[in-house]
Structure 1
Amino acid sequence: MRLIVALLMLLVAASAHAFRFSEEEAKARAEADAGKVAAIEISPACRKRLGGERVLLLIAERGNSGINAEQSRYSLHFNGIEKRLRSYGMRTYSQAEIRKIIAQAEIDAHFRNDPDAALAAARKLGATLTLRGMIGSQRGINPVLGINEVAVNMGFLLLAGNRSLAEVDAKADSYSGTDTVGMALKLIDEQADAVVNRLVAGYCAGRGDTKKK
């Protein structure tokens, strides 16, 4: 009898957890859908500036073994961000162009926060801006269900030379699985519009071109 009661209590706890998770998942989906908004309204001066910018976009993942900055690993992530940048008139470089001009060692140094390497890489391409995306994650075990929990985040930093113009974070939670790159792609699919909008707003403010109301 005690064993049956214990099992029933465990099932009730698991059901309650699943219900809470369903609510949290629905809330996160609603927030993500709200993030899929149209391009923000910006001043004519800022839009003109954006049209003259050439952006070097680089993405990497920070894991237990260090930083993986092999760009071909993040092609879909790259595409999701690139098309949003282009919607504001900015020119981006393809991954093929980046690989042709910039050595992997220089990209690795960029993500080790080597300012000289970062500046040299941008200059080789003729880029006026660098947008760096870093995938990170936190792992744990759910104490009730005993399954993996993974919280995935991406930090974006927009640079003009070595000067930071805007910094934006985005995050998504998963209650199982270990595919952080896949989760990061889902995060981009859901939040890229809002992320790029905030980066552009930071750019305009940093350039002194904020639209007057």
Structure 2
Amino acid sequence: MTSTPRERLTDAAFALFAERGFHETTVDDVVARAGVGRTTFFRAFSAKEDVIFPDHEALVAQVQERLAASSDAPALAAASDAAGLVLEHYLAEGDRARLRYRITRQVAALRDREAASQLPYHRAFRVFLRDLTGESEASDLRAELLAGAVVTAHNHVLRRWLRGHTEADAARAELGRAMAEVALWATPSAPTDLAPVQETAIVVVRSTRPVDELLPALRAAAAEPGAAHAPGSTA
């Protein structure tokens, strides 16, 4: 299968990043390795940094399409399915995704860009989860929190795989467990029957009668709503 110029450029760039490092690789190095001209490079990418990241716009569009097509599924199950779609993209990239992760950890500008790339995913989940929370666009705190939980759960699982702590099948299973935790956290607690509040009336009395004689009367007065004074006392 013949690759496109963009694919050849991406393959060449990642090969050079692995051999020389990100900073040491120039656009001229990439086009020379790919066998294309600079004009072709800049038709595909606006800068060397663009080669590093996957096509997030296309991925977000796939997430939105998956969510839109899941109208019959519970909202959080649909969100979990869409998050799994993103995970599968990285798993399919394999070593390239892991190399990207190592490079972004080393280059501050790339880390910032990676963080910014999370926002469209968060927004897509937030908009979708409003149906679950019943909130409006102007006041959707719970949907915002749920979307953040979905993205965070996915990223936690993805990072473990990128660092080599898990294999692909284990990462898929971990994502399922992580999303189950999100669902558990998102489910409102069932209302509990609170025990009746026990009120205590404190009465200040002055009397010449012995305390032992007064206590029964005080207890009776405290138990009677509206009782103002114990018998035999003066206010």
The TM-score normalised by the length of structure 2 is: 0.23
Q: Which has the higher strand share?
A: 1
Relative contact order: is structure 1 or structure 2 higher (C-alpha 8 Å, sep ≥ 6)? Answer: 1
* Structure of larger gyration radius: 2
Q: Which has the higher helix share?
A: 2
